[in-house]
Structure 1
Amino acid sequence: MDALSDLIAKANVKAVLIGQLNTVVVAVSGVCVIVLVSCWIAEIAKENSGVTRRYAACFIGVILQAVAGLLTVLAKRWQPNLLLFYAQELFTILAVVIGGIALGMNNVVVNVCANRNTSGKIIACAAHDVETVAYVIVILCLMVNYASSQQRVITFVDKGILDGIKGRSNSAGMQQLP
């Protein structure tokens, strides 16, 4: 019986730690999004290019990331719900895909800057470099968010199984677990 209590306690601690990790990851990626938006404003202002398709992909990626972050916070605040976990994972995957596409488009500009910009266009090279670093951090945070949400699903299912075992143990007149 003590082994079951230990398993339940470990599952609870694991769930709390994963929830805290998700909160930190959402905060870090939120800061990086502010850096990204600042870079885009600087690039648009310096290059006089207006909002191109690349920025449209970036904006869509940021919106998807914001939805994934909101779902992460809701999954932590509300009662665990598999549908909410799966929605969080779906939006995280979509944000990673769109973010990867936007990062690839930005790397083309970074390569032009690295080759000493022989095109004759005015390019905000430093802003594009900072954007690359920020996007890499955002994508890494999203991947950690996805992996930890997978772990939260596993912990949620394991906890449900352990609670079921505890319930059957109580119905047989055994000692109540915490």
Structure 2
Amino acid sequence: ADVNWGSSVQASSYNMALGYVVSLNAVEDHIKNFRPQCLVLTGPPNCRPALVDFVSTFTKNQSLMICTNVLVFTRGYIHSTLSLNYHVAWLNKRKVKTFYRPVVADDVRSGVHILMQGSGLGKMRPNVLFMGFKKNWQVDHPRNMDNYVNIMHDALEFSFGLCVLRMKEGLDIS
């Protein structure tokens, strides 16, 4: 069997990164180390490049960005590694310094709850939720509109900053 054991440099990089993230827990919060750490509700990121690009302009090399996709659960659904790799490759090709995190949930609001509570490590946790403006609210199912508004309320209850991006031509290119 052909096994990739990796290099000692890769192992050392991982250990150093882990050590640095853990050491941040001892750093007291103050104005000089505040960073907007962004949880971005992109769906498939390649479908909302304007949202991805906008957030990456001010997180680039400075703070955390996590692109997320809530996949509504259907029986027998398994998110494939192929799809995950595709989205990560798309983000890397655009030179966006981000993590990509899909989650499977019963509904979008539950998925966003999972992401707000479970994303990040220690002090490297999101503190701002980015989402697109809902353009189809007049024709969409009332339950979806209720979820959309309640996601904003939930973000504020979880002490997140909240940004809703609206563009004249919309965000979704799928």
TM range (shorter): under 0.3
Question: Could you say which structure has the greater relative contact order, defined with CA pairs below 8 angstroms and 6 or more residues apart?
Answer: 1
TM-score of the superposed pair, with normalisation by structure 2:
0.20
Higher helix share: 1
Higher strand share: 2
Name the larger-Rg structure. 1
TM-score of the superposed pair, with normalisation by structure 1:
0.20
